[in-house]
């Protein structure tokens, strides 16, 4: 009995009298409230805006019919009565104008990621072996070498992890300030300024030259409006916008000419910017320097193991050869001699691993970020320095995209 009036309303458009009763008995969930009060769903709005189909917009009753479907008005915007509950019903049905950022990386995760480096793994194994054998041979001072290697590994990991963690927090704070702009909206018939994160579906936004469109919308009226949609579509030419033939506005694009008003239809993850950002959230790839260091670590480990295994086999063969030639029987106390041969082989592996290389690379990259910060360039990750330093060609499709930000007199008269 609860769902029957709602189906009549959608199919026959005769459920206006049953809608209040339907809402009164429905459970207080966002989906049931949205279905009872909003005629158009978020999916319908998203499909309409992605299709850019003007005919489909006309079938919905034009911009005024669309505004009625989202409980708004092209002149007065969202009714002031909805602000009493902070627009909770509207937010629950259409969402908010905020793309969920990726979860922040914790310091422990950065440390664990740093320990996955093959060179550092080799150093840790060598340090543990050095500790065990060193304490076995000389309990008073045999632990020094292994402990020194572990401290070097700890310094490398902590310097890199702390730098990335600090820069990550700074970048998040900067992005929050940079993106949190004020926009002009009409709510309850009055124009006001609200945060871009407070924009909702059904808001009427006043657009002026130079504004960055903060949500997907449809033009209500305009005067000689042109938009730069190259950021979203790659089209370098300015696109003329008008309510009749080209009313669809894309979030993230800039208004280069004209003024107008638009009705917000998609926000947050449902907008063009939200879908684009969702596609861009891919796992990072290894930098060229990381790939080279991995190859170097593999080669060092391979050469070190081959050399140590060769020496161990030769020493053991020489030992048993001497026993055979002299006719001396093998006794249990001779095991200590074989252990020394093994220690010699392990020492070769430990010496072959360059324990200072990761630390030197990390310190040099950290120093590079400090130097770049003096030039007002905040580097988010250490590896970005070596990635930029390894660039051989910079491709640009527009004249003047990359400049020195300096003007020079080239001709005078």
Nearest residue to 346 (alpha-carbon basis) of 311, 294, 297, 296: 311
Dist CA 87 CA 81 (whole Å)? 9
Dist CA 175 CA 146 (whole Å)? 44
End-to-end CA distance of the chain: 88
Give yes or no for a contact between 124 and 302, defined as CB atoms under 8 angstroms apart.
no
Nearest residue to 348 (alpha-carbon basis) of 309, 397, 394, 293: 309
Kindly state the tokens that stand for 373.
């910060």
Alpha carbon separation from 93 to 12, 36, 39, 201, 278 (Å, rounded): 23, 11, 11, 9, 20
Cα dihedral: 38, 42, 43, 49 (round 10): 110
Dist CA 335 CA 143 (whole Å)? 23
Dist CA 45 CA 163 (whole Å)? 43
DSSP 343-412: HHHHHHHHHHS-THHHHHHHHHHHHHHHHHHHTT---SSTHHHHHHHT------SSTTSS--S-------
Identify the helix (H) or strand (E) that includes residue 36: helix 30-37
Q: Looking at the annotation, which residues are catalytic?
A: 397
Residue-by-residue pLDDT tens, the chain, 413 positions: 334 344 344 344 343 333 333 333 333 333 333 334 788 888 888 888 888 888 888 888 888 889 988 989 999 899 888 877 888 888 888 988 888 777 778 888 888 888 887 667 777 877 787 788 778 777 888 788 778 878 888 887 888 788 778 877 877 776 677 677 888 999 988 899 998 888 999 999 999 998 889 899 999 998 889 998 887 777 777 888 988 888 999 988 889 999 999 999 999 888 888 888 777 766 666 667 767 777 887 787 788 888 888 988 998 898 888 888 888 887 776 766 776 777 677 667 766 766 566 667 767 777 777 777 777 776 766 667 776 666 777 776 655 555 666 777 877 77
pLDDT score at 339: 66
Residue showing tokens 């796992």: 283
Dist CA 30 CA 32 (whole Å)? 6
pLDDT score at 282: 63
């Amino acid at each position: 009995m609860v769902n029957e009036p709602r189906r009549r309303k959608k199919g026959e458009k005769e459920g206006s009298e049953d809608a209040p009763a339907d809402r009164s008995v429905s459970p207080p969930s966002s989906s049931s409230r949205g279905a009872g009060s909003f005629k158009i769903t978020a999916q319908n709005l998203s499909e309409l805006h992605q299709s850019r189909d003007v005919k489909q917009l006309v079938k919905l009753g034009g911009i005024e019919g669309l505004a009625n479907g989202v409980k708004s008005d092209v002149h007065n915007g969202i009714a002031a009565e909805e602000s009493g509950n902070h627009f909770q019903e509207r937010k629950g049905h259409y969402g908010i104008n905020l793309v969920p950022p990726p979860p922040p990386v914790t310091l422990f995760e950065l440390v664990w990621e740093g320990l996955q480096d093959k060179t550092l793994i080799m150093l840790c194994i060598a340090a543990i072996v050095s500790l065990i054998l060193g304490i076995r041979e000389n309990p008073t001072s045999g632990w020094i070498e292994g402990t020194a290697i572990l401290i070097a590994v700890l310094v490398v990991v902590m310097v890199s992890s702390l730098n990335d963690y600090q820069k990550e927090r700074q970048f998040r704070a900067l992005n929050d300030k940079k993106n949190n702009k004020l926009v002009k909206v009409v709510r309850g018939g009055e124009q006001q300024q609200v945060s871009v994160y407070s924009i909702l579906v059904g808001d009427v936004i006043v657009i002026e030259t130079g504004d960055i469109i903060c949500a997907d919308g449809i033009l209500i009226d305009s005067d000689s409006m042109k938009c730069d949609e190259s950021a979203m579509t790659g089209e370098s030419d300015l696109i003329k916008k008008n309510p009749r033939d080209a009313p669809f506005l894309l979030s993230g694009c800039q208004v280069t000419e004209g003024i107008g008003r638009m009705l917000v239809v998609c926000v947050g993850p449902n907008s063009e910017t939200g879908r684009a950002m969702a596609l861009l959230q891919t796992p990072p790839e290894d930098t060229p320097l990381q790939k080279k260091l991995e190859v170097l670590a593999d080669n060092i480990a391979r050469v070190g193991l081959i050399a140590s295994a060769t020496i161990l086999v030769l020493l053991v063969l020489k030992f048993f050869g001497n026993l055979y030639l002299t006719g001396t029987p093998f006794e249990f106390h001779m095991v200590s001699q074989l252990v020394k041969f093994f220690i010699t082989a392990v020492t070769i592996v430990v010496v072959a691993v360059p324990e200072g290389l990761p630390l030197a690379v990390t310190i040099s990259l950290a120093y590079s970020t400090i130097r770049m910060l003096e030039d007002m360039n905040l580097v988010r990750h250490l590896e970005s320095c070596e990635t930029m330093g390894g660039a051989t060609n910079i491709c640009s499709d527009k004249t003047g995209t990359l400049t020195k930000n300096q003007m020079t007199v080239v001709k005078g008269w």
